[in-house]
């Protein structure tokens, strides 16, 4: 009886131990092949290093000669204080039959995080006769960011 008890206890203890599994040695890919533009992408010079004020200056310079531009500057209060800060910027220039439309939109962190951009989007709506070819668009991206990197899932990044 004592042997059966010891055997049952030993079996239960061994069964409760975690199974040995092979350890994976996952390491990030070396970014030596990427140059700084690829590591820090930007849209019209606005990146995650940009503050709300610097982004606003870029937006205003980009859209200054476009009369029909709609501007939306969203401000929020910082906590229960009277201090407000820019939380989001959207500049919208509508497209027309002969003009390309453009929307630039950026969201910013609170002043506690230096009021930096964390979301940047640019949408272009090309006029019918101004649509660049796919080849032209790919060339422009490659000129700015370099050759795409193929990742394990076979998508280009």
Half-sphere exposure in the Cβ direction for 156 (13 Å, CA): 7
Q: CA-CA distance, 106 to 120, in Å (whole number)?
A: 4
CA 145 to chain centre: 15
DSSP H/E element including 107: strand 101-108
Q: CA-CA distance, 128 to 46, in Å (whole number)?
A: 28
Residue-by-residue pLDDT tens, the chain, 157 positions: 666 666 666 666 666 666 555 556 656 555 555 555 566 778 888 998 999 999 999 999 988 888 889 999 999 988 888 889 999 999 999 988 888 899 999 999 988 889 999 999 999 998 888 889 988 988 888 888 777 766 566 666 5
- Domain residue spans of the chain: 37-145
Write down how long the chain is: 157
Task: Provide the pLDDT for residue 65.
Answer: 87
**Other CB atoms within 10 A of residue 52 CB:** 23
Task: Provide the pLDDT for residue 76.
Answer: 92
Q: Tell me the backbone φ, ψ of residue 148, rounded to 5 degrees.
A: -65, 155
Q: What is the pLDDT of residues 101-127, one digit of tens each?
A: 999 999 999 888 899 999 999 999 988
Q: pTM for this structure?
A: 0.66
Measuring CA to CA, which residue among 146, 114, 152 is closest to residue 28?
A: 152
Q: Tell me the backbone φ, ψ of residue 134, rounded to 5 degrees.
A: -60, -40
């Amino acid at each position: 009886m004592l042997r059966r008890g010891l055997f049952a206890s030993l079996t239960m203890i061994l069964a409760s131990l975690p199974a040995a599994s092979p350890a994976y040695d996952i390491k990030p890919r070396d970014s030596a092949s990427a140059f700084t533009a690829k590591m820090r992408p930007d849209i019209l010079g606005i990146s995650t290093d940009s503050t709300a004020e610097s982004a606003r200056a870029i937006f205003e310079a980009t859209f200054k000669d476009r009369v029909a531009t709609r501007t939306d500057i969203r401000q929020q209060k910082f906590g229960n204080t009277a201090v407000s800060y820019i939380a989001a910027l959207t500049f919208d220039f509508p497209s027309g039959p002969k003009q390309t439309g453009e929307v630039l939109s950026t969201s910013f962190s609170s002043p506690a995080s230096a009021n930096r951009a964390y979301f940047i989007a640019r949408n272009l709506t090309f006029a019918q006769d101004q649509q660049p070819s796919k080849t032209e668009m790919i060339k422009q991206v490659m000129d700015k960011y370099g050759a795409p990197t193929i990742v394990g899932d076979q998508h280009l990044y």
